[in-house]
Amino acid sequence: MKHSKIVILGAGVAGLTTAIALHKKGFGNISIYERRKTATTIGAGLVLWANASKILHKLNLLAEIEKVGGEIDKMQRWAENGELLGEINVNDIDTNIGSTSYAISRIDLQKILLQKVEELKIPIHYNRKVLLIDDKDNNAYVVFENKLKVNADIIIGADGRMNSIARQYVNDDNTPVYHNFANWIGIIESDKAIFSENIVLDFWGCGERFGIVPITKYKGYWSGGKSLKLNTDVKNNKAQLLRIFSSWSPKIKEIIQLTKEENIKYIEVFDHNIITVWHKNNVCLIGDSAHAALPTSGQGACQAIEDAWHFASILKESKTIKEAFSEFKRIRFEKTTSITMAGRELAKSLFNENPMFCKQRNENSKKTDYMIVSQNIAKLWSKNLPK
């Protein structure tokens, strides 16, 4: 199978990491097709938790991540009135998993992955929007917007969550699910120190939430969420945010004020219902197209990175493509499903607008043994990781 022609649809985290992992396992004929005109990315930042950094180490990417990413020690939960609700010790999770968690800007992560892909001489064809995947004699082929038609032994659908053509082909449906909340995301950078500790601050309101993640002393990203109907007409992001979160922690106000208007984006947040079929003929789904989870899972990109590692390792060991695809889904299904459901569960609780519910939720949090929470998180995230 080493000489199989492999086509990857989408140059996001899943597509790029899969290309790198496949190359490492000895596959030589790989190409990536991306709808965007250039190598751009949206989004502020994300945390590469220890499960993802373990894989990135295996792929010889961790040294680059360490140069621009920032370690995280703790994650604190606060009520909007300034009361501490609990603290997750990230160092404990890291120790359990055997790696380190890093916060990183999306642009930096994308740059590192792209540089590696370039170094490995894996071609990326930009401005290639997939229109359709069809098949003849059980062999799928891809049709692009410019009528280009591409055949391959293996087609990897890494085309994300919002309109995955690969998911449509495999599953006959690709409709994402909105959960009645939207996020404003932003990235901040300053000459003066903004952060003194490596602590993620997670503020819980009632139908609202604000999270702040330091990357370095001078740089970080944040996300402000609010329970909102789909297609709400939102204007003047900064002014809106200052209004919504004005009575919350002064740190939130400082962070919003420091963010340039053009660095704030409003995103309606979707995930996907679980699907049990991830492949059809020679097409296999990977990353968000297979199992998009809400940002409240904190694991979307991390799971895309895990997918990449498992997909390449399994393909190398398998006798046939069909066997490889089935094994890939078997290994990945349970973990990604648990993570998607955990993301939904937390979102349901955070964006609940009932004051009684929120009061009780906060009381419960104060009584929670966060050592056990850390252990449970580590148990889930370390499932099926390589040694």
Ligand X SMILES: Cc1cc2nc3c(=O)[nH]c(=O)nc-3n(C[C@H](O)[C@H](O)[C@H](O)COP(=O)(O)OP(=O)(O)OC[C@H]3O[C@@H](n4cnc5c(N)ncnc54)[C@H](O)[C@@H]3O)c2cc1C
Residues in contact with ligand X by CB under 6 A are 9-15, 33-36, 46-47, 129-130, 158-160, 165, 183, 185, 267, 269, 287-288, 295, 298-302, 304
In whole angstroms, how close is the CB of 28 to ligand X at the nearest point?
22
How far lies 202's CA from each of 7, 88, 213, 350, in Å?
40, 11, 9, 11
Cβ distance to ligand X smaller for residue 1 or 76: 76
Give the integer Cα–Cα distance in Å for 266 and 281: 38
Residue type, 333: F
In whole angstroms, how close is the CB of 279 to ligand X at the nearest point?
16
Give the integer Cα–Cα distance in Å for 288 and 14: 8
In whole angstroms, how close is the CB of 184 to ligand X at the nearest point?
9
Degrees, nearest 5: CA angle 382-328-385? 15
Cβ distance to ligand X smaller for residue 273 or 354: 273
Cβ distance to ligand X smaller for residue 113 or 314: 113
Q: Which residue is nearest to ligand X (CB)?
A: 12
In whole angstroms, how close is the CB of 231 to ligand X at the nearest point?
17
Give the integer Cα–Cα distance in Å for 39 and 126: 8
In whole angstroms, how close is the CB of 6 to ligand X at the nearest point?
16
Residues 6+ apart with CB under 8 A from 373: 86, 88
Cβ distance to ligand X smaller for residue 62 or 185: 185
Cβ distance to ligand X smaller for residue 173 or 363: 173
- Which of helix, strand or coil describes residue 170? helix
Strand stretches in 137-280, DSSP E: 139-144, 149-151, 154-157, 177-189, 199-204, 208-214, 219-227, 264-271, 279-280
Cβ distance to ligand X smaller for residue 53 or 249: 53
Instruction: Note the Cα 152 to chain centre separation in Å.
Output: 27
In whole angstroms, how close is the CB of 103 to ligand X at the nearest point?
8
Cβ distance to ligand X smaller for residue 10 or 86: 10
Token pair, residue 36, equals: 């965007």
Token pair, residue 195, equals: 């952060």
In whole angstroms, how close is the CB of 15 to ligand X at the nearest point?
5
Cβ distance to ligand X smaller for residue 80 or 268: 268
Cβ distance to ligand X smaller for residue 1 or 120: 120
**140 backbone dihedrals φ, ψ, rounded to 5°:** -80, 150
Strand partners, 202: 77, 211
In whole angstroms, how close is the CB of 75 to ligand X at the nearest point?
12
Give the integer Cα–Cα distance in Å for 203 and 358: 12
- Which of helix, strand or coil describes residue 157? strand
DSSP 248: S
Burial 58-97 (b: 16+ CB within 10 A, else e): bbebbebbbebbbbbebbbbbbbeeeebbbbebbbbbebb
In whole angstroms, how close is the CB of 320 to ligand X at the nearest point?
25
